[in-house]
Homo-oligomer: A and B are copies of this chain.
Amino acid sequence: MWLKPVVLRDADLTKRLSAETTVAWCREAILAAHRGELLAPPRAHADLGDGRFAFTAGRLVGRWYGYRSYDTLPTETGEQTVVVHSEQSGRVEGVAVGKEIGPMRTGAIGGVAADALAAPEASTMGIVGCGPQAWMQLWAINAVRTLSGVSVFCRDPETRRRFAANASERYGLEVRAADSAEAAVSGAQIVVLATSSGTPVVDTGAIDGSAYVSTLGPKQIGRAEFDDSLARRAGLIVTDSLPQLRAYDPPFVLRDTEHEKRIVSLGSVLAGDTQPRPGTLFCSVGLAGTEAYLVARLLGL
């Protein structure tokens, strides 16, 4: 009993979770949620004054249940926790603590989505945003497509230059810092928006009509990194969690628009119930239970 729970730290995760493995496991999780085997309720919150805790729970019925907790207080590290219980015993089998698990699974969900929704031959990518989320999107999408050129833009020239240099070195790719968001996405077959902006970050007209577009950043009424022009150009709109999208408060930016009813789940695409189409828009909201799924997989539960 003294061996439980297993405690995993960032180094354990980054060592054992390659992009390929993480994408494959997130794909399993999304399909399990689609089949109703993985319960993934909307996030719960607890108020902490000038910030709050968020809890994203999940349960693989008959196997395990768990959650990730994170907070929005302005701390130095922003560490998060994942807890996984065995369903039969109730015992806490594993605890993961660190900063990596959140971005890794969000990255991997982005990899699953790009694999399912971008053209198989897509090889050019434009990224708006230079933070950890942008970095992990590249990490995951690089594992599902053979990329030949990547452009990245964010407001600070030094930050985008560093992102491009680091990414070139890490992945052996041609990664270029662009002078504008429009220049970054122009001609790209895969477009990733991964900012914390509350207003649209790119002119939709600059995006190729058949490009696959993924949005990671704010997507609530009054605070969104895109507007409905991005939905209008999309032949298909997909999200990793319809319940999470519907639970947004303030509401999802496309709520009560003509586009709202067109949104389908990524699980339905993976299951073959929905056919992918050129020009798809993917709204990443963070399917609950996916972090616990990764930790449970690492523990062999």
The interface of chain A, by Cβ under 8 A from chain B, is 1-2, 4-5, 7, 9, 39, 41, 43-49, 53, 55-57, 59, 61, 65, 67, 69, 71, 73, 75-79, 81, 83, 85-92, 95, 97, 288
From the candidates B4, B5, B79, B95, name the one contacting A90 in the complex (CB within 8 A). B79
Which B residues are CB-close (under 8 A) to A46?
A: 41, 43-44, 55-57, 67, 288
Contact B90 A73 (CB under 8 A): yes
Query: Contacts A97-B92, A97-B95 hold; do A87 and B61 have CB atoms under 8 A apart?
Result: no
The distance from the CB of A72 to the nearest CB of chain B, in whole angstroms, is 11
Given contacts A53-B65, A79-B92, A92-B97, 12 further A-B contacts (CB under 8 A): A2-B9, A41-B47, A41-B48, A46-B67, A48-B57, A53-B55, A65-B71, A67-B69, A69-B69, A79-B85, A81-B92, A81-B95
Copies in the complex: 2
Report the separation of the CA atoms of residues A48 and B289 in the bound assembly, to the nearest whole angstrom.
11
Contact A85 B71 (CB under 8 A): yes
Which B residues are CB-close (under 8 A) to A44?
A: 44-46, 53, 55
Query: Contacts A41-B46, A45-B44 hold; do A67 and B53 have CB atoms under 8 A apart?
Result: yes
Report the separation of the CA atoms of residues A89 and B98 in the bound assembly, to the nearest whole angstrom.
12
